[in-house]
Amino acid sequence: MLLGYAVNRRLLDIGAAYNRRLILDHVVNWQYSAEILPVALESDPVESRTYTYTFSGPPGMQTETEQLIYAGACHAAPGSGSVPGFYSYTYTATCERRWTMGEAMSPAGFQWNFRPRRKLQPFLVAHGGYMFSTRPIPVPQAGSFNFTFDVGAGIEIFRARTRSIRAGYRYHHVSNSDTANQNPGIDSGLLQFTYSFGK
């Protein structure tokens, strides 16, 4: 956690990238890089509570049940309470995860491959963009539209002149830049695997 404070979140992205060479010399291959992620899944911890209410008064004692979902930290413990003269209640709580579907795009990005004449090339990468989700994340008071950026490093192995495999690690940040009532932010460490081909 560097910039966000929404803990215990998970992120899974599936998509494609477009890279175009900008500068190539014997030291670095500097490329423009853009990513589109039609599948961007975000997971939040939630607490599921089942309430049982007991009402007093005529025509006698009556009971009723209700299930509620609370986003945020989960405490799997039973509880009880009452409103004197009206009803009493008990509840049981369980911890679950809720996945939210979204899509993302990072149109502003760069990749720097070092030792570009070698088969094994270390690289640095950075992107900026947005993520849209089907409901507010990571809490209900946050927004469905969030800004994203990532920075990372990895290794690219060329199997042929235009074919390679990349493996890397990224620090990834999601937040709404205070465009909603709350902006807790999500920090993730992402492992990325990419098969690259070109002309």
Indicate the number of domains in the chain.
Answer: 2
Same domain, 182 and 140: yes
CB 113 within 8 A of CB 29: yes
Assess whether 193 and 162 both reside in one domain. Answer: yes
Which residues, 6 or more positions from 162, have their beta carbon under 8 angstroms from its beta carbon? 197, 198, 199
In a domain, 5, yes or no: no
pTM for the predicted model, two decimal places: 0.79
Residue 165 near residue 159 (C-beta atoms within 8 A): yes
Residues 131 and 186 in one domain: yes
Same domain? 35 vs 85: no
pLDDT at 65: 83
Domain identity same for 93 and 105: no
- Highest-confidence range of 41-55, 86-100, 172-186, by mean pLDDT? 172-186
C-alpha 140, offset from chain centre = 15
pLDDT at site 60: 58
pLDDT value for 8: 85
Question: CA–CA separation, 72 vs 184, rounded Å?
Answer: 11
Q: Are residues 134 and 168 in the same domain?
A: yes
Does residue 67 lie within any of the structural domains? yes
Nearest one of 115, 142, 148, 117 to 130, comparing CA atoms: 148
Mean pLDDT of 123-149: 95
**Do 105 and 89 share a structural domain?**
no
**pLDDT tens column, 73-128:** 677 778 888 888 788 888 888 888 889 999 999 999 999 999 999 999 999 999 99
Average per-residue pLDDT for the chain: 90
- Using the predicted structure, report yes or no on whether residue 59 has a pLDDT greater than 70: no
- Encode pLDDT of 7-34 as tens digits: 889 999 999 999 999 999 999 999 999 9
User: With 70 as the cut, is the pLDDT of residue 57 above it?
Assistant: no
Considering the domain architecture, whether residues 127 and 56 belong to the same structural domain is answered as: no
Torsions phi, psi for 175 (to 5 deg): -160, 160
Domain assignment present for 171: yes
Q: What is the mean pLDDT of residues 157-171?
A: 94
Would you say residue 120 lies in a domain?
Answer: yes
Choose one of 77, 97, 117: the last residue of a domain.
97
Residue 83: give the domain boundaries.
45-97
Distance CA 27, CA 33 (A): 19
